[in-house]
Amino acid sequence: MASSVPSAATDSLATTTSVSSLATIRTELRLRWWVEVAIIAVYYGIYSGIRDLHGANSVNKGQALHNANRIIDLERDLGIFDEQHVQHVFLHFRWMLSALNDFYASAHFLAVGGVLIWLFFAQPELYRRWRNTLALCTGLALIGFAFFPVLPPRLLPFAEYHFVDTLKTIGGLWNFSSGPANDVSDQYAAMPSLHTAWSTWCAFALASSWRSWWKKVAVMAYPLLTVFCIVVTGNHYFLDAVGGLVLLAAGYALARMINNVHPERPPIPPERQPVKAHA
């Protein structure tokens, strides 16, 4: 009686075939890792240059405070200006806030880089769409940063708003006042929240190719944790997070339009086809 368990040789052959199939897709799409690294490096260089040109050093703090008050007034009208209350619930958990300060400063770079690498090697047929989505939503964010600078909650006058700058009072691995964090940050770039846009991008990019529903649900914990982090550390308002989601939606819509005009997606092998839900 033949065994129903695949042999090691069969598993090895299937793995080799799968790897070969992925390599073929990357070849058909003309994807080269060194080209992608160069594109990302040049794009980030241009983004950084524009960001620094319109960054906190070139923005009047009074203008950023005025825009922050506009957001606060709208949140009060909507009944959602509760960031300060949320933060104060967790202020005595100093170890957690220290960890969240580090999470805020570094996790989004690591997560985005990891997802891009995973897409390139494991899901090449989806890579360009999600890479373009990321690039477009990041580029669109510069418009908000340049024309609507916003003072984050942690920099608001304490006597009036009682927000705590957790990075300054509790600390972490980074410091916005000096060093690398100062070089890669615009402290008045609160609206929209790129942290929210990027973390949700990571979740959707991963979920778009997974068949398991529980994995799709589980990965959404990352953007939820990010929103909690940006609020409890005093770096963003709730509406900043909403702005980040709108930003991502716009970036995705533009990326789909580009893909429709210049379709480059090869046929997906049957074993990689997503499972369709039955009505």
User: Reduced to 3 states, what is the DSSP secondary structure of residue 189?
Assistant: strand
Q: What pLDDT sits at residue 80?
A: 96
- The rounded distance, in Å, linking the Cα atoms of 109 and 272 is 28
Q: What is the pLDDT of residues 134-171, one digit of tens each?
A: 999 999 998 888 889 999 999 999 889 999 999 888 87
For 200-267, give the DSSP string: HHHHHHHHTT---HHHHHHHTHHHHHHHHHHHHTTS--HHHHHHHHHHHHHHHHHHHHHHHHS--PPP
Q: What is the pLDDT of residues 99-126, one digit of tens each?
A: 999 999 889 889 999 999 999 888 888 8
Write down the domain spans for the chain: 35-265
Comparison of pLDDT for 186 and 67, the residue scoring more:
67
What's the pTM value of the predicted model, to 2 decimals?
Answer: 0.80
Nearby residues of 21 by Cβ (< 8 Å), 6 or more positions away: 269, 272
Comparison of pLDDT for 265 and 222, the residue scoring more:
222
Nearby residues of 120 by Cβ (< 8 Å), 6 or more positions away: 26, 31, 33, 36, 127
CA distances from 17 to 9, 11, 20, 117, 179 (A): 12, 10, 5, 21, 47
What confidence tier does 1 reach under pLDDT thresholds 50, 70, 90? Answer: very low
